[in-house]
Amino acid sequence: MPQNFRSLAYALIRRLALLATCCTLLFSAVQGVWTYHSVRQQLLGNIQYVASSNMPMLSVALWDIEPATVRQQLAVIAARPGVGFVRVNVVTGQMFEAGDASLLYHNQVSRFVIPPPAGGGKALGELLIVLKDNYIYRQVALALAGMLLGYFLLTVLLCALVVYVLRRDLEKPMHAMADFAGRLGPHTLTSPLRLQRGKRDMHDEIDLVAAGFGTLQNALTEHIESLDQQVAERTRQLESALADIRDLLTHDTLTGCYNRAFLDERLPQETARAQRSGQPLALVFCDIDHFKQINDEYGHLVGDEVLREVATRLRSQLRNDIDWVVRFGGEEFVVVLPDTGGDNARLVAERLREAVATSMLLEDGRRLQLTASLGVAIWQPDEELDAWLKRADTLLYQAKMQGRNRVES
């Protein structure tokens, strides 16, 4: 087992506990706000009740001028839960207090008018009751503590149940599958995976994974049995792909003719063979006449079509698997004629010229007259290839200077 291994059940429980804690804190915050307002409203109701229940006796005590009774009543009110300070301001200027006077300026104050005993007339004074905010906070804290304890116990219980279920239904089957996969080898490939999960009416993802192991084993067995056939097929495909790549590397994509790279590779082989056999080797340089004018007047798309058409006409006059044609560049083509001497090479060049010198039907119905100039050079033993090509190119230039649509050799 790797050092950085961590049980899936442990990871799930950890995330579940984290989410439960976050939810508990969120619910506690909401519950705290609600509890604060509830306790505060309840306390205000109690204060209202205390004031109303003690108001008659205070009224009589003030009317009869009995200070001791007033102080006794204030002490009773100050002893009520949530009351921090009580004061009576008498209209005659007297003042009676009970409780902590420092709370008067930092807590909520409830004010009540003290009427005469018989009702009517002017008020005898004012009763001030100051609430203790600490009492409210303490009640909220006690309520939240009880709620948090309940949430905590519920979370622990749920996590314990989840741990039990995960270990029974997930961790143990996963360990069994991991051990099975680790033991797989050439000699145990056909051994089935068996999970001791008891009798169940429904299947789940564990069953799907176990079935996937069986499918994988069958596929691997079939693959091994047909490996030789697959290797042969892959070899054929690779050879085909290499042939396609070589074709792309050696052919001009526009005309389908060979390209300069193929010429550089194949031409030395042809001269070496001619050197060994003593057979002649001819080379024809072909250039389409007025090709720039065709591009300028008809457009480059027509120019490309002209190049393809000329390449097709040149190939139609050559021997299969013997002669070959290269697009040398632009509108220039090079035709290589193995085993062909001077007279025969000129005859072939004339055929090529005549094949090119016919009209071409364009897509818009117009006809375009084509011609080509050609230079023919026979390879001389031990002659450098560049010199041979330059000699054929010079003859082509002479054909151009002589009026085009002709062969010079």
Q: Could you say which DSSP state residue 101 is in? A: G
89 vs 51, which has greater pLDDT?
89
Q: Is the pLDDT of residue 7 over 70?
A: no
What are the tens digits of pLDDT across the range 359-383? Answer: 898 888 889 999 999 999 999 988 8
What are the tens digits of pLDDT across the range 197-227? Answer: 666 666 666 767 767 767 776 777 776 777 7
Q: Is the pLDDT of residue 8 over 70?
A: no
SS3 content of the chain, % helix, strand, coil (to 5): 60, 15, 25
Q: How high does pLDDT run on average in the chain? A: 84
C-alpha to C-alpha distance for 246 and 262, rounded to whole angstroms: 10
End-to-end CA distance of the chain: 83
C-alpha to C-alpha distance for 71 and 85, rounded to whole angstroms: 13
Mean pLDDT of 302-324: 94
The answer to whether 1-189 and 255-408 have equal CATH topology is: no
pLDDT of amino acid 280: 95
Report the CATH number of the 1-189 domain: 3.30.450
133 vs 332, which has greater pLDDT?
332
pLDDT of amino acid 216: 72
Tell me the pTM: 0.46
What band does 283 get if pLDDT is binned at 50, 70 and 90? very high
Q: Is the pLDDT of residue 40 over 80?
A: no
Q: Is the pLDDT of residue 302 over 80?
A: yes
What band does 126 get if pLDDT is binned at 50, 70 and 90? confident
Mean pLDDT of 379-397: 94
What percent of the chain has pLDDT above 70? 90
pLDDT of amino acid 3: 60
Q: Is the pLDDT of residue 392 over 90?
A: yes
What percent of the chain has pLDDT above 90? 35
What band does 9 get if pLDDT is binned at 50, 70 and 90? low
Structural fold of domain 255-408: Alpha-Beta Plaits (3.30.70)
- 315 in Cβ contact with 406 (< 8 Å): no
- Assigned token pair, 177: 């599958």
C-alpha to C-alpha distance for 34 and 42, rounded to whole angstroms: 12
**Domain extents for the chain?**
1-189, 255-408
What band does 164 get if pLDDT is binned at 50, 70 and 90? confident
pLDDT of amino acid 45: 80
